[in-house]
């Protein structure tokens, strides 16, 4: 009975997203680690817009526990709040894209 209860234990966020500052044209990577695999309905968002795996947005998972989002070639308008949701778990962080000043 104890092992069954343990197996039913809800996953928790072990290591959440971290605020990230990058320059225009760089890549920004966000990682969220869950206590155990098998959490359904994993989704990434940027300012409320769902993200999908494509050339500029790389979404991956390792061992079903470590979920990674990489935004490639970011632009100023990509600055905002990144949200990771897995079932009822949520982790958020800020993405700040800094322009490169040409002033001398």
* First and final C-alpha spacing in the chain: 69
- When pLDDT is cut at 50, 70 and 90, the band that residue 7 belongs to is very low
Strand order in the sheet with 80-86: 20-23, 89-98, 80-86, 42-46, 49-50
| pLDDT tens digit sequence for 21-49 | 999 999 999 999 999 998 989 999 999 99
| pLDDT tens digit sequence for 44-97 | 999 999 999 999 999 999 999 999 999 999 999 999 999 999 999 999 999 999
Q: Which CATH superfamily is domain 13-98 in?
A: Immunoglobulins (2.60.40.10)
* Tokens at 24, concatenated: 């225009």
Q: Where are the domains of the chain?
A: 13-98
Question: Tokens 């990489």, residue?
Answer: 70
* Tokens at 16, concatenated: 């959440």
């Amino acid at each position: 009975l104890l092992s069954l209860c343990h197996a039913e234990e809800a996953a928790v966020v072990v290591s959440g997203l971290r605020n990230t500052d990058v320059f225009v044209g760089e890549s920004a990577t966000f990682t969220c680690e869950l206590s155990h695999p098998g959490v359904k309905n994993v989704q990434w968002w940027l300012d409320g817009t769902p993200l999908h795996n494509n050339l500029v947005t790389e979404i991956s998972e390792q061992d079903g526990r470590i979920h990674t989002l990489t935004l490639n070639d970011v632009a100023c308008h990509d600055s905002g709040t990144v949200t990771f949701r897995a079932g009822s778990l949520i982790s958020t962080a800020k993405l700040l894209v800094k322009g490169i000043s040409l002033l001398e």
